[in-house]
Amino acid sequence: MSYVEVPGAKVPIRMWADPATVDPGALQQLQNVSTLPWIKGLAVMPDVHYGKGATVGSVIAMQGAVCPAAVGVDIGCGMSAVKTSLTANDLPGDLSRLRSKIEQAIPVGRGMHDEPVDPGRLHGFGTAGWEDFWGRFDGVADAVKFREGRAVKQMGTLGSGNHFVELCVDMSDSVWLMLHSGSRNIGKELADHHIGVAQGLSHNQNLVDRDLAVFIAETPQMAAYRNDLFWAQEYAKYNRTIMMALFKDVIRKEFKKAKPMFDPEISAHHNYISEERYDGMDLLVTRKGAIRAGSGEYGIIPGSMGTGSYIVKGLGNAASFNSASHGAGRKMSRNAAKKRFSTRDLEEQTRGVECRKDSGVVDEIPGAYKPIEQVIDQQRDLVEVVAKLKQVVCVKG
């Protein structure tokens, strides 16, 4: 489908979804965002749903201002995927050992490494820029610096919620490695700190929603936020790169005889800000639960833990600010999912996937998400499908 334009907004709201199927609360959030004086347009993805301040699954283009809550608290959260030389025939019938080895290599939940990961010891990891990156940690907000030890030890860890590590097979029986994570606790603390600062500024006192507080260009507060934001986005990218290197090491050891090789990594943020130019204007484009899908750019659109995912290539649709969805998108809250579904439902909906099937991940059950095939179909003018993946191992936080 192409987009529909939401009526009654002060700026164009282009939606790649049927407005009648979108939660009223999310629709109201979109209208709220459109009232900001600096807004130049919104693009709404088919996985749109209610979020904090701004909806998840929205692309917000602003001039001379940025809203930190519209980035989200998991700054730089995103996906990475790698195609391997392995095929489905190389996989053992029992995948429980492989899941265990992945969980041993990559801490999940609130876990962290006992000692910081030394990237110099990781096979194929490029260390250029690593020391400079950590050197810039001294320049982030003083309010979070005391977490330095934790930030270092959480580098290369998964986290919880909807974060995951998966082994997948595509329609040609090729094996893929895929993972989803972000900037861990340090990104959240930086986001919370700056959201609080923004809410205290005088120009934000009469907003329709205090969570839409913004920083304005050429102010000290904006400069501080941009510094910390871009550092956290880089942290998130490094975090995924290190986890993927650890994942590859597991695969090399477990499939030593097959001598696995790996294609170049595909990596894409879906909670971040980018400086881009549209209609002759320099804009700050916030993607909260959306990926960049410029012409020819590769992206990853995952489904839920029992369905599948898609590798896509962007079509460069300027109407969407060169964007596409970041996943299937929730159709019910975590609490609602826990009330509606049982562990038996989880077992049934993840049949054939080696994964946790306990009460701790019922809120991530496929039934709590929109159908990924429908989400893909609604953005055929934004991306083309390169590969469809089906997970056979899923490690959740």
Helices 184-199 and 220-254: angle between axes, nearest 10 degrees: 160
Using DSSP's 3-state secondary structure scheme, residue 189 falls into: helix
| Residues 58-67: b if buried by 16+ CB within 10 A, e if exposed | bbbbbebbbb
Pairing of strands 290-292, 65-66: unpaired
Helices and strands, number each (H, E), in the chain: 9, 18
Rounded distance between C-alpha atoms, residue 284 and residue 63, angstroms: 6
Residue of 383, 379, 370, 268 whose CA lies nearest to 328: 370
Q: Which of 163, 194, 269, 326 is catalytic?
A: 326
Number of neighbouring beta carbons within 10 Å of residue 281: 12
Alpha helix segments (H runs only) across 73-180: 96-105, 130-135, 148-154
Is 269 one of the catalytic residues?
no
Query: How many angstroms separate the first and last alpha carbons of the chain?
Result: 34
H or E stretch covering 32: helix 24-34
Owner of token pair 């309010």: 143
Give the angle subtended at the CA of 199 by the CAs of 195 and 202, to the nearest 5°.
140
DSSP 323-385: EEE-SS-BSS-HHHHHHH--HHHHHHHTTT-EE--SGGGGGG-GGGB--HHHHHHTTTTTEEE
Rounded distance between C-alpha atoms, residue 344 and residue 23, angstroms: 28
- The residues that are catalytic are 326
